[in-house]
Amino acid sequence: MRIPLPPVPLPDTVVALAREYADGTREPAEPRNAATVIVLRPGDAGPEAYYLRRQVSMDFAAGMAVFPGGGVDPRDFDAQVGWAGPEPAAWAARLGCDEETARALVCAAVRETFEECGVLLAGASDGEVVADTTADDWEADRVALESRELAMTDFLNRRGLVLRTDLLGVWDAWLTPVFEPKRYRTWFFVAELPAGQVTRDVSTESSSVHWLPAREAADQADAGELAMMPPTYLTSMEVGTYPDTGAVLATARERSVQMFTPTVEPLGDGWTLSMPDRLRPLVSERRQA
């Protein structure tokens, strides 16, 4: 299935619908906060990222290749969660949100990554990280977290672990356009696969998983071989311009983000959705190649 990628002409019906929301004729759906993590590992062709192809039966991003992630759970706001690394106030400044939301987003990023690919960004102290999460008892905890039978705080406390928030970097933030019926306010994080850990195809929401050089993933999307939503495609394209994971993480450690909401803008004789200005030269260069 070929998914048109930015910049894409929008049908007149979508443009008209977007205008109705923009002028207040229609009420947009209330967005839900979410976190997604670009899990990286070194590769000969540049940084490789972990992608899950969502089940075609899903009601959001069906059949699309996505990064691990999901919505914030109310229990992600627990201030008693074990914590190592930058404090929530520092995260709030970089994520462009309040401190309480920042804590929940970081917790959700770690929790969802463990739930969806078995990678756990946690350790017994600020200098340690779990080396293996493949045993049956870890899998039982992962399933309990996924089903919400177990809270992240209780899971970490029982195992004597703290969130290694210093292993996360900040990358981007996207809000679904106003005319979409299901909307997410999604913060994008990056993290390198911890030494000793392996990704596992465990998510019930995915039909397959893939490690791909980020640059190659964008190429496959251009060729119609891999379906992606624009934020995933643009992120893959941008990450793919870096020579290695170290360069990506160095950028992410210094980056702060503002929430970007695509709006309708002119494209030739028609209309398209906007994108962050920093990505326009990269898209233009790719289209001319």
Query: What is the β-pairing status of strands 184-192 and 206-213?
Result: unpaired
pLDDT at 55: 53
Which tokens in the block code for residue 75?
């229990």
Give CA–CA dist 231/223, Å, rounded.
17
- With cut-offs at 50, 70 and 90, classify the pLDDT of residue 202: confident
- Residue 1: is its pLDDT beyond 50? no
Highest mean pLDDT out of 37-51, 52-66, 198-212, 270-284: 37-51
Mean pLDDT, rounded, for 36-50: 97
pLDDT at 247: 98
Give CA–CA dist 171/61, Å, rounded.
21
Please state, rounded to an integer, the average pLDDT across all residues of the chain. Answer: 92
Mean pLDDT, rounded, for 68-89: 96
Neighbouring residues of 41: CB distance < 8 A, sequence distance ≥ 6: 47, 48, 50, 192, 193, 211, 245
- Using one digit for the tens of pLDDT, what is the confidence trace for 244-261? 999 999 999 999 999 999
pLDDT at 251: 98
Q: Supply the DSSP symbol for 40.
A: E
- Residue 52: is its pLDDT beyond 70? yes
Q: What percent of the chain has pLDDT over 70?
A: 93
- Residue 159: is its pLDDT beyond 60? yes
pLDDT at 206: 59
> 3-class DSSP state for residue 12?
helix
Cα 189 versus chain centre, distance: 6
- Using one digit for the tens of pLDDT, what is the confidence trace for 132-142? 999 999 999 99
Q: Closest by alpha carbon to 97, among 246, 258, 221, 236?
A: 258
How much is the pTM?
Answer: 0.93
- Using one digit for the tens of pLDDT, what is the confidence trace for 101-126? 999 999 999 999 999 999 999 999 99
Q: 């705080």: which residue's tokens?
A: 153
Residue 95 gets the label, from left (phi > 0), alpha (psi -120 to 50) or beta, of alpha
